[in-house]
Amino acid sequence: MEVKIRAADVKDHERISEIFDHPSVVAQSSQHPYLGTEKVCRLFQESKESSVVLVAEIENEVQGYIGLNLSAKPRAKHVASFGMAVHPDCHGKGVGSHLLEEAIDLADNWLNIIRLELEVYTDNERGISLYKKFGFDIEGESKFASFKDGEYIGLYRMARISPRFNNRS
């Protein structure tokens, strides 16, 4: 099974919307259910200038995405955050690893990003494991940071410092 990574296109928004709206995906995102294609398109359009969105295809169907959000702050141009999602049918098939690997290469070698950061629910063991595999460390926990499935839940704040700067403080 070949995973192809490419830049997202407007034609991908409907499929990305389907992935967003899948119950097990939305449960691990910061979005609410039933966003719909129009809101997903708006999310991508609003951040178009300050983000890079990649999709993962298997047999010409989008199975996941990752969006790098570049900081607009003058003193934080070296920082980016990201969000990603993989269709549950492809969990455990390497799609997330392919997306993250490509995003890290882009950050390190093309965008001059030193710090790549994210937030992840404290109960998202699969996501946390993936991020740790790629060198992300838990830097802190925000307790009661989000409302999910009728309960408040914490978020881990994780970051990866480019290996070129890893020995500096």
pLDDT digits (tens, 9 = 90+) for 11-28: 888 888 888 888 777 777
Residue 139 has pLDDT above 80, yes or no: yes
What is the C-alpha to C-alpha distance for residues 120 and 82, in angstroms, rounded to an integer?
11
> What six digits make up the tokens of 109?
């070698």
Helix or strand run (H / E) with residue 80: strand 79-86
Angle, helices 13-21 vs 36-46, to 10°: value is 110
> What six digits make up the tokens of 12?
């991908």
Task: State pLDDT tens for residues 24-44.
Answer: 777 777 776 666 677 766 766
Residue 48 has pLDDT above 80, yes or no: no
What is the C-alpha to C-alpha distance for residues 140 and 26, in angstroms, rounded to an integer?
23
Domains and CATH numbers, the chain: 4-161 (3.40.630.30)
pLDDT for 143? 97
Angle, helices 125-133 vs 95-109, to 10°: value is 40
State the Cα angle at 92 between 87 and 94, rounded to 5°.
85
What is the C-alpha to C-alpha distance for residues 25 and 134, in angstroms, rounded to an integer?
21
pTM, entire model: 0.88
Which residues make Cβ contacts (< 8 Å) with residue 164, sequence separation at least 6?
108, 114
| pLDDT more than 90, % of the chain | 66
